[in-house]
Amino acid sequence: MLLDIPYRGYHKALEQNLRRAAEEEYHTHRNAVDAKVHPGYGNEIVNAALSPDGRGLANYGEVTLRIGDRFIAHRASILRENAYAFYERYSLGRRDAVEEPGWRAVWDDRVRLGGAHLAPALTPATAEADFPGIILSVGSNRDEDKYLEVHIYGGINSSALEGVTLERALTDIENRGEWDLARQKLGRLAIPVQNLTDAQ
Tell me whether residue 43 is in a domain.
yes
Residue 2 CB partners (closer than 8 Å, separation 6+): 61, 62, 63, 170, 175, 178, 179, 182
Q: Is residue 2 part of a domain?
A: no
Strand partners, 161: 67
Residue 189 lies in a domain: yes
Q: What is the DSSP letter of 139?
A: -
Q: Which domain holds residue 63?
A: 10-199
Domain count, the chain: 1
CB 192 within 8 A of CB 164: yes
Taking only Cα atoms into account, the Rg of the chain, rounded to an integer number of angstroms, comes to 17
Beta strand pairing call for 146-147 and 136-137: antiparallel
pLDDT at 199: 56
Q: Which amino acid makes up residue 141?
A: N
Within-domain flag for 4: no
| Separation between Cα atoms, residue 146 and residue 98, nearest integer Å | 23
Residues of the chain with pLDDT under 70: 1-6, 199-200
Report if residue 114 sits inside a domain.
yes
**Residue 3 is assigned to a structural domain of this protein:** no
* Residue-level pLDDT at 1: 40
pLDDT at 146: 95
Q: Is residue 68 part of a domain?
A: yes
